[in-house]
Amino acid sequence: MNETRTTAAPGRREVVATASTSLEARRRALKARRLRRGWAALGLVVPAAFFYVLFVLRPLVLTVQYSFYDWNGVGASTFVGAENYTRLVEKPELLASIVNALELIIYFSFVPVILGLLTAATIRKFAASRLAMVSRTVLFLPQVIPLVAAGIMWTWMLATDGVVNELMRAVGLGSITRAWLGDTSTALGAVGVIGAWVALGLCLLLLLSGMTKIDPALFEAARIDGAGAIREFFAITLPSVRQEIGVCVTVTVIAALAAFDIVYISTQGGPANSTLVPGLEIYYLGFFSREVGQASALAVVFMALVLAVVLPIQRLTKEED
Amino acid sequence: MIVSRREAWLGRALLILLMAVTVVPFISLFVTALHKPGTYPSGMSWPETPYWSNFVDAFQAADMWALLWSSFLIELGVVPAALLIATLAGFSLGHLRPPGHRWIFLTFVLGLTLPFQAIIVPLYYQMRDMQLLNTRWAIILPLLGLYMPFAVMWMRAHFVTMPPDLSEAARIDGASTWKLFTRVHVPLSRPALSSLGILMFLWTWNQFLLAVVLVDDPKNRTMAGALGAFQGQWGTDIPLLCAGSLLILTPTLLVFLAFQRQFVSALMQGALKG
C-alpha cells in the first residue's frame, strides 16, 4: 500500500504541473483506464460464461439442430426437415404426455398454493408461537430429501396394503381402495399427491412469511369495521401476498411441467402411459428407442411450453412491484 | 390482535394435521424397514420382532461408504467451483458493470427456467465425445454450467446492493480490482455465499437425471442417483428397500437439522429470487 502511494505522489505532481497544457491527455488516460477496467471486469465473467456456454447453450442449440434430423445416435444422420415435429401430433402418446404435464399443474401447483394460502391465513395469528416454529422444521422435510426418496415412500404409502388404503378401510371407505398408482384412472392423481406433498411446506412457509410482514393494524381496523375472517382474507391478506403467490406458482408450475424423478420412481409413465410426462418421454425416446431427432423435437416443444406457461406468471408478479 | 378462540383452535388443528401428513410417510418407511426381509408387510403395522439388521444389510448391499464418498467428491467438485465462478461473474455484472453487462446478464437469465431434460440428449453425446461418460466429471461439469443462471443471478442481486462509495474508497487507497474483490467484497458477501452454497449442496446431492443418464455405475453417482439404482435392484424386497432409502436420505436430514435455520432462509430466499 505504501509503495503505491509513494509512486503515485510524483505522478500526481506531474499531472498538476502540466494540467493546463495536457488536459486532453489526462482525459485520454482516464478513458484508457476505464476501458482497461472494463476489460478486466469482463474477464471475471469468463469462467462462468465458459461453463454456461459449453454445458447449457451449446446443448440447447444442438437440441434444436438434432430435432431436424433422423438419427439413432450411432450411425449417419439424415435431414428430415420438420418431420419430427409433425410426428409429434400424429403419435397420440406424445401429445398425451403434454396433456398429462398440464394436468399435473393442478396437483403440483394449485393444490399446495391454495391449501397453503388457507392454512397460512389461519395460522398467521400465532406465527410466532412454538408450534409454528416447530412446523418450520417439519414442513420443510420434503424439500430437503431427494425426490426419489419421496417417490419410494409414497409408492409404498399408496400400495394396495399401504397406509392410505388402510386409513380408508378404517373410516369405512374400504370399497374404493385400490393400488392407486397402478390404476389408469387414478395413477396421475396419485403422482400428483406426491408432488403436492413435496411443495406444500415451501408454499405454506413462504406465504406465511409474506403474511407476517403485513401491518397488524390493517387486520385490527378490518375487524373493528366488522369484517369476518373471510372478508379479511380477500380484502387484506390475499392482495398483500401477491408477490409470494407469484413465486409459489412459478416454482411449482415449473416443477409440474418438468416432473421426472417422482414419475420415474413411482410409475415409470404407466400404467398404459397414463402418467407419461414430456421429461420422461424425452428420456425414453433419447436413450431407449434411440430416436434422437424425435426426442429433441419433443424437447424443443417442451421448452416452448415451459416458457409459454411461466413467462405470463412472471410478468403478472413483476407488474405488482 | 383480535383473534377469536375458534379460529385459533382451527389454526392449530390445521397445522398439526399438515405436520402429521408430512411425517407419516417417513414413519411408514421406518416401520416397514423393520419387517422381515422379503415379506410384504401391510400399512403401519409394527413387526412382532423388529429386524434392525435390515439397516446393516442394506448398508452393506448398497455399499454405503462408496456412495457417500462418491457424493462427497461430486459436492467437492461442484460447490466451491460454482461459488467462485458465480461470485466473480456476479461481482462483475452487478458491481463493476462493464460495457454489455445487461446483455450478458440477460443471456444467463435465459437459462433460468430451463428443465434439465430439455438438453439431456445432446449433453449425453457431448460427454461421450469428451470421453467422460461414467465418470463423476460427467455430473460435475454440466452442473457447473446448469447452476450458473441461478447462481449468477443470486450473486448479482447481492452485489447490486453494495454501495459504489465503498469501492471508490478502496480505489483511492490504491486497491486493484482484484484486491477490491478479495479484501472488501468477498468478506461482505458471506451470508449470500453461504445461502447459495447450501442450496447448491442440496441440489447436487439430490440430482437424479444427470446421474442416471450419464453414469451407469451407482458408485460414481450422486446419492439420489444411487438410490434410483438401489430401487431397481431391491424393488421387490420392500423392507430392505425401505431400510436402504432411509439410510440414503439420513445424511440430508442430518445436515438439514444441523443447519436448519440457514437452510430454511436459503430455501425461502432461493424461491423468492428464482
**What residues of chain B lie within 8 A of the CB of A52, using their CB?**
107-108, 111, 145, 148-149
At A4 the pLDDT is: 42
Residue A314 to residue B2: CA distance in whole angstroms: 35
CB pairs under 8 A between A and B: 310
B21, B112, B113, B262: best to mutate for the A interface, most A CBs within 10 A: B113
Given this model, what pLDDT does residue A226 score?
86
Name the closest residue on chain B to residue A281, using Cα atoms.
B117
CA distance A293 to A295: 5
Q: What is the mean pLDDT of residues A241-248?
A: 91
3-state secondary structure (DSSP) of residue A129 = coil
Contacting residues of B for A66, CB less than 8 Å apart: 121-122
Beta bridge partners of A69: A79
CB contact under 8 A, A52 and B274: no
* 3-state secondary structure labels for all residues of A96-139: HHHHHHHHHHHHHHHHHHHHHHHHHHHHHHHCCCHHHHHHHHHH
Q: How far apart are CA A256 and CA A74, in angstroms?
A: 33
User: Please, where are the H alpha helices in chain B?
Assistant: 5-33, 53-61, 64-91, 101-109, 120-129, 137-160, 164-172, 177-179, 186-188, 190-205, 209-214, 223-234, 238-258, 260-273
- Chain B residues whose CB is inside 8 A of the A265 CB are 228, 231
More confident residue, B38 or A260: A260
pLDDT digits (tens, 9 = 90+) for B13-58: 888 999 999 999 999 999 999 988 888 777 677 888 888 888 998 8
Q: State the pLDDT at residue A170.
A: 87
Residue B129 neighbours by CB under 8 Å, 6+ apart: none
- Distance between B57 CA and the closest CA of chain A, angstroms: 19
CA A175-A180-A181 angle, to 5 degrees, is 160
Residue B37's pLDDT is what?
Answer: 85
CB B23, CB B16: distance < 8 Å: no
| Assigned C-alpha cell, A152 | 419410494
Stretch 206-235 of chain B: residues touching chain A, C-beta under 8 Å: 206, 208-209, 212-213, 223-224, 227-228, 231
The pLDDT of residue A20: 55
What mean pLDDT is reported for chain B? 89
Whether B18 sits inside 8 A of A136 (CB atoms) is no
CA gyration radius, chain A: 29
pLDDT of residue B3: 58
Is B1 a residue whose pLDDT tops 50?
Answer: no
Which residues of chain A make contact with B238, given a CB cutoff of 8 A? Answer: 156
pLDDT at A319: 55
* Whether A63 contacts chain B with CB within 8 A: yes
Query: How far is residue B248's CA from residue A146's CA, in Å, rounded to a whole number?
Result: 9
Are residues A140 and B256 in contact, defined by beta-carbon separation less than 8 angstroms? yes
Task: Tell me the chain B residues in contact with residue A266 when contact means C-beta distances shorter than 8 Å.
Answer: none
Q: Pairing between strand A69-70 and A78-79? A: antiparallel
Task: Please give the model's pTM, rounded to 2 decimal places.
Answer: 0.89
Q: Report the residue of B1, B4, B12, B15 to disrupt the A interface, i.e. the one with the largest count of A CBs within 10 Å.
A: B15
Is A299's CB within 8 Å of B117's CB?
Answer: yes
Q: Do B111 and A216 touch (CB under 8 A)?
A: no
The secondary structure of residue B184, as a DSSP letter, is I
Among B residues 146-205, those touching chain A with beta carbons less than 8 Å apart: 146, 148-149, 151-152, 173-174, 177, 181, 202, 205
Task: Mutate one of A148, A250, A301, A305 to test the B interface: name it (highest B CB count within 10 A).
Answer: A148
Quick one: pLDDT at residue B273? 61
Q: Which positions in chain A touch B167 (Cβ < 8 Å)?
A: none
**Interchain CB contact of B20 with A (< 8 Å):** no
User: pLDDT, tens digit, for every residue of A137-181?
Assistant: 899 999 999 999 999 999 989 988 888 988 898 888 888 888 899
Residue of B nearest to A170 (CA): B43
CB contacts of B3 in chain A (<8 Å) are 125-126
A144:B263 CB<8 A: yes
Integer Cα distance of B176 and B122 in angstroms: 41
B25 min Cα distance to partner chain A (Å)? 6
- Of A204, A191, A237, nearest to B17 (Cα)? A204
pLDDT exceeds cutoff 60 at A320: no
Residue B117 · residue A282 · CB < 8 Å: yes
B131: closest CA of chain A, how far (Å): 15
Give the per-residue pLDDT at A306.
94
Q: Stretch B118-138: mean pLDDT, rounded?
A: 95
Per-residue pLDDT of B166-189, as tens digits, reads 888 888 888 888 888 888 999 999
Residues A161, B14: C-beta atoms closer than 8 Å: no
DSSP label at residue B48: S
Q: What is the mean pLDDT of residues B85-95?
A: 95
Residue of A nearest to B143 (CA): A55
pLDDT at B234 over 80: no
Q: Give CA angle at B197 (B195, B200), nearest 5°.
A: 110
Element (H, E) at A69: strand A69-70
Burial class for A54, CB neighbours closer than 10 Å (0-12, 13-18, 19+): middle
Average pLDDT over residues B96-110: 92
A8 — pLDDT class (breaks 50, 70, 90): very low
Under an 8 A CB cutoff, do A287 and B97 touch? no
Q: A212 CA to chain B: closest CA distance, Å? A: 13
Distances (CA, A) of B234 to A231, B214, B237, B241, B243: 53, 22, 5, 6, 11
* pLDDT tens figures, A29-67: 888 887 887 888 899 999 999 999 999 999 999 999 999
Q: What is the pLDDT of residues B200-228, one digit of tens each?
A: 999 999 999 999 999 988 889 998 998 88
Answer yes or no: are the C-beta atoms of A47 and B85 closer than 8 Å: yes
- Alpha-carbon distance of A5 to B19, in angstroms, equals 63
Cβ-contact B112, A60 below 8 angstroms: no
C-alpha cell at A116: 397453503
Please determine, for residue B2, whether its predicted confidence score (pLDDT) is greater than 60.
no
Interchain contact B115–A (C-beta under 8 A)? yes
Q: Does A86 touch chain B (CB under 8 A)?
A: no
